Amino acid sequence: MTTEFLTITGTPADDEIIGRAAEVIKSGGLVAIPTETVYGLAGSALLEDSARKIYAAKGRPADNPLIVHLAKPEDAELYGETTPLYYRLAERFMPGPLTIILKKKDNIPDTVTAGGATAAFRCPSHPIAHRLIEVSGHPIAAPSANSSGFPSPTNALHVKADMDGKIDMILDGGECEIGVESTVVKLNDDGCTILRPGAVTEDMLADVCGKVTISPAVIEPTLVDEKNPESPGMKYKHYSPTAEVILIDAPLDVFADHVNGHGEGKYGVFTPADEAHLYTGGILLITGETDNASQLSHSLFTLLRNADELGLDTVYVRCPPKSGEYLAVYNRIVRAAGCRITKLRDNRENT
């Protein structure tokens, strides 16, 4: 299959491109699209065959369900069983990077939800994603547009690297603003549970929900119940470049000493620009400024892909905090590191 690569230019010409992409969706094809979080691999959520093609193009395990993307929060009425809490959350966070799990209706094929009785709903705020859903008139199933297991794509070239020849079309709408996928929550009688952290944080949800629980597997991936995970995506190896990611929980000076003492072969190190002077070797992968969680989120997947483009054997990453805006980054990087964290507390332990 030849994959068409089309650039969105912000001119009236875009209407024609969106129109063509909508035809592809309606006829059961696949289009990679920008969203505010990461690029998505879009197909109609009403057509079983489209879902099958999505799993095949990604090499995604058949038991990992897809998110259904809607133009408006109230469209969830058509495909799922909404609740008052859904609407309270939707009012605050939709459109935007929040995905809510609801009981599904029969018009969403089982292939989309991997056979499950629930479906995940999200309204993307990105104008291209939004317009494609509106113009096609279909709800859109869209996982991240990476090959299964690899870092999610945050620009159209990342998508091309993984999906060229496997899908009908790629729409290049530039860099994704947020850089990590949406927050996924399930609703409970007294609040909600975060199944995957994202840019909508625990505190932001607590403002609307009252009680917010974080699923233990978000922080400690080894706690996933393999037979019955709260969210199937939890149990898979994820976000991993070919380079080995070495995640170290340590004070900054201890981390830098460790990298300087142990880095060998072609290695890289994640560092904010203003800490770069601490490293005596290796290739520096600049994450933004110190204490800037948004910049770190924005650059995370690009830097993991850069590690492979540069042919690095290993990448050293200092463990981010496990809370607030950083929780989303922590959750991705710990999986990219194969769920291993090395704890170093003072310099004497390093020798």
Q: Does the bond joining 95 to the residue before it have cis omega, within 30 degrees of 0?
A: yes
* Cα end-to-end span (Å), the chain: 54
234 close to 339: Cβ distance less than 8 angstroms: no
Distance between CA atoms of residues 151 and 163, nearest Å: 13
Identify which of residues 149 and 232 has a Cβ nearer to ligand TXA in the complex: 232
Closest alpha carbon to 268 in 258, 281, 283? 283
Strands (E), 109-215: 118-122, 140-141, 169-172, 183-188, 191-196, 211-214
Write out the binding residues for ligand TXA, residues 189-228 only, by CB under 6 A: 195-196
Q: Is 99 in the site for ligand TXA (CB under 6 A)?
A: yes
Q: State residue 103 phi and psi, 5-degree precision.
A: -65, 140
234 close to 223: Cβ distance less than 8 angstroms: no
Site string for ligand TXA, 228-267 (x = CB under 6 A): ---xxx----------------------------------
Token pair 């340590």: residue: 250
Amino acid at site 155? N
Q: Which does 32 bind (CB under 5 to 8 A by kind): Mg ion, ligand TXA, none?
A: none
Identify which of residues 38 and 102 has a Cβ nearer to Mg ion in the complex: 38
| Biggest CA-to-CA distance, the chain | 64
Distance between CA atoms of residues 126 and 177, nearest Å: 9
Smallest gap from Cβ 232 to Mg ion, in A, equals: 11
Site string for ligand TXA, 58-97 (x = CB under 6 A): ------xxxx-----------------------------x
Smallest gap from Cβ 301 to ligand TXA, in A, equals: 11
Distance between CA atoms of residues 204 and 229, nearest Å: 25
Residue nearest Mg ion, CB atom distance: 144
β-partners of residue 5 are: 170
Closest alpha carbon to 304 in 318, 290, 317, 293? 317
Identify which of residues 104 and 318 has a Cβ nearer to ligand TXA in the complex: 104
Smallest gap from Cβ 298 to Mg ion, in A, equals: 17
Identify which of residues 63 and 74 has a Cβ nearer to ligand TXA in the complex: 63
Q: Is 184 in the site for ligand TXA (CB under 6 A)?
A: yes
Site size for Mg ion (CB under 5 A): 1
How many Cβ atoms from other residues are within 10 Å of residue 189's Cβ?
7
Write out the binding residues for Mg ion, residues 254-293 only, by CB under 5 A: none
Q: Is 181 in the site for ligand TXA (CB under 6 A)?
A: yes
Q: State residue 125 phi and psi, 5-degree precision.
A: -90, -15
Among the residue ranges 1-9, 177-185, 286-294, 302-310, the one whose residues contact ligand TXA (CB under 6 A): 177-185
Distance between CA atoms of residues 287 and 280, nearest Å: 18
Distance between CA atoms of residues 131 and 142, nearest Å: 15
Q: Is 331 in the site for ligand TXA (CB under 6 A)?
A: no
Smallest gap from Cβ 215 to ligand TXA, in A, equals: 10
Q: Is 64 in the site for Mg ion (CB under 5 A)?
A: no
313 close to 244: Cβ distance less than 8 angstroms: yes
Q: Using the rule CB under 6 A, which residue among 40, 43, 96, 139 binds ligand TXA?
A: 40
Smallest gap from Cβ 102 to Mg ion, in A, equals: 20
Smallest gap from Cβ 131 to ligand TXA, in A, equals: 15
Smallest gap from Cβ 312 to ligand TXA, in A, equals: 25
Q: Using the rule CB under 5 A, which residue among 144, 182, 193, 287 binds Mg ion?
A: 144
Residues that bind Mg ion (CB under 5 A): 144
Residues that bind ligand TXA (CB under 6 A): 35, 37-38, 40, 64-67, 97, 99, 101, 113, 116, 118-120, 122, 124, 142-144, 181-182, 184, 195-196, 231-233
